[in-house]
Chain A
Amino acid sequence: MKLLSNYFKEMKIAARGFYFYIEIVMAVILLAILLLAVSETSTSNRKLFIYNDMPQKIVEYQQDKSIKDGDARLADATEFKLKPAKFEITHQETGETTAYDFTDEKIIELETMEMLDSSTGELEETVYYVETEEDMIRLAYGESEMGATVAMDAHGKVSNKYYLQGYETDRLKSLLYILDSESPNVINAKKDRQVVRTLGVMETLNNRENWVPVFLVYLGSLMGYFIVMAYIFYDKAEGVIRAFAVSPSAMWKYLISKIFVILTTVVVSSSIITIPVLGGQPNYLLFYIFLIITTFALASLGLLVASFFDSISKAFGVMYAIMISLMIPAFSYYIPGFDPLWLRFVPTYPLLQGFKEILLNGDAGYVLTYSLVFLAGGLVLFVLADIRFKKTLTV
């Protein structure tokens, strides 16, 4: 009864404040952007620089065949500016390093082909044909894109040598190994080599749907973390926590009622975005379980942080640092090549992956495992916050 009374009071206060409406209005705006401005299919901007070490006639034959099969189309020639550059490349298998030092600057015009998805006709990749291997390596480095040398030996056997940036996934590297001969050449254009894991789900969510997990995490859980702190600091400024502390009600009921308000807001805003975009596709039971548990965990983190400070201005540094840290996994989400091991320990990383799994009706085991992890973590944070608030009532 006291819990319910606290919840209704908090909802009434939230409804009379602006945070609640910001969250809902933001959800509506994001939905409008998704439905009106984001297409279901993506526009590819992948580039590939190729140096063909084979007779021109064979090259032309292959290009004509691709165009005829609907796999490619010719585009206008493209100009690139080659700037002075100094770098090293390392052969992945031999470890042999080659140093390059270009001091000149020049503009080159490259024959350009657009590679298409044969079934949809959508642009997948733009291929630029470079006349020398050196220029190809220089462009791959300068443009931070993949380069390749396609060679044909005296027996007519074709082999590819790839120039990568170093952060590409093992998955991509494995794919290149499979596509090519038993003895491929995969070369990193930068020295750092990273272990990478990518999830296959990205390939099956369409472009519009692919935005939803990010919105769910940042508009939901992350805003929950921020808004619960805002509510607490507002109460601290009004002194009402001290008034509550001299009532017969337990402190945890006060704290959990704040989280319930956040959960209500997040469930509403997340539904506004998810249902119109995904329709009946996701498992909504799993969706709401994951949404509620993860929001609870991050809101508990917000409570704990708020317990250490008496005003939002004093908490701002820590609050901001945590928010930025929690936002980093979004880079990995959009740049699959950036996926270092440490990133998986940032809570929003499994959150993003979990929502992707749910939206695709994918790996429920992954979602449930992380739900349990977040529930346990959230409970620990909540208990710590409760202890902290009891100790710092005069703050």
Chain B
Amino acid sequence: MISVKNLSHSYNEDGNFAVKNISFEVENGETFGFLGPSGAGKSTTQGILTGLLKLQEGEVLVAGYDIKQVQNERFNKIGVSFEQSNVYGKLTAKENLEYYAKLFDVPTRDPMELIHLVGLDGKENVRAGEFSKGMKHRLTFARSMLNNPELWFLDEPTTGLDPTIAATIKDIIREKAAQGTTSFLTTHNMFIADELCDRVAFIIDGEIKLIDSPKNLKLQYGLKLIDIEYVRDGKVAKETLKTVDELDRKRIGEIVNNYEIQTMHSKEATLEEIFIQVTGRELVYNETIK
């Protein structure tokens, strides 16, 4: 569905590349996560794939179209949900969807059905300018589904949403994946990527460091860990220790034998911990609600 070969992009065309010689492929029906911190090159890559940025170097095929050629009809197959909500504030939710629906040459979904799907029932006749940030984001998300896209670009789809709504959005993405929709999910939220993606790519400083499935990454990089809380000198101390490391195992025994244990939990390494392990960089979260 997506084929990217040796893609590079420089905003000022001065040799300072925001994306440097990256290559990857996304299969039909796959949910592909493009993960990295702010400024890593995620949005630049998505901008090129969606045609918002001009292709400078490399070859890119999206939904069967070479994006060097200007073909607006390709957007009949593509849906884009932007990170920054972008709907007409002076139009109601329903009017927004009705207007965009008329821009497509393919059958589109009923705006009211989409409004219901994203939990905006009762708000269909309210102007989007009166919506909260989260409501606008949901409307932007709903708009991206109007044409039943074969390829769906999702940029931070749960940003700014409360946990209930975020769960609904994730369910919709899973359902679309089950129906065969290919999704290109751009995020810095590793939890969402872990939950939704078949494969993920780690991008740092414009370069892809690794591409694999979350499961394989955990098998390859993940270590079983144990979190222990115990009482030492009258105070509660906490340590995280690896079960496969000899020294750590000895330390676990030492703590159990010598101190009063408060809590002890085993856990798997998260995708975020693997990201840090692979790239040496931490992700910065802008969200307050994840």
Contact = CB atoms under 8 A, between A and B. Distances in A.
The interface size bin for chain A is 20 to 34
Interface stretch (A76-84, A245-253, A311-319, A377-385): A245-253
B82 A394 contact: no
Contacts of B52: 242, 245-246, 393-394
Main secondary structure of the interface of A (DSSP, over half): helix
Contact of A246 (B73, B80, B91, B127): B80
Contacts of A242: 52, 82, 86
A243 B52 CA distance: 10
Interface string A197-238: 000000000000000000000000000000000000000001
A74 interface: no
Main secondary structure of the interface of B (DSSP, over half): loop
B175 interface: no
A245 B53 CA distance: 11
Contacts of B74: 248
Interface residues of B, number: 33
A247 B127 CA distance: 22
A7 B82 CA distance: 24
A247 B100 contact: yes
Contacts of B104: 247-248
Given A246-B75, A247-B104, A248-B103, A238 B89 contact: yes
Interface in A1-31: 1-2, 5, 9, 12-13, 16-17
B105 interface: yes
A387 B54 CA distance: 12
Nearest to B50: A246
B169 interface: no
Interface of B: 47, 50-54, 70, 72-76, 78, 80, 82, 84-91, 95, 99-100, 102-105, 127, 140, 143
16 contacts: A1-B102, A2-B103, A5-B99, A13-B88, A238-B87, A238-B89, A239-B82, A240-B86, A243-B87, A243-B100, A243-B140, A247-B75, A248-B73, A248-B74, A391-B54, A394-B52
Name the 7 nearest CB pairs between A and B, nearest first.
Answer: A239-B86, A5-B102, A247-B103, A246-B80, A249-B103, A16-B90, A248-B75
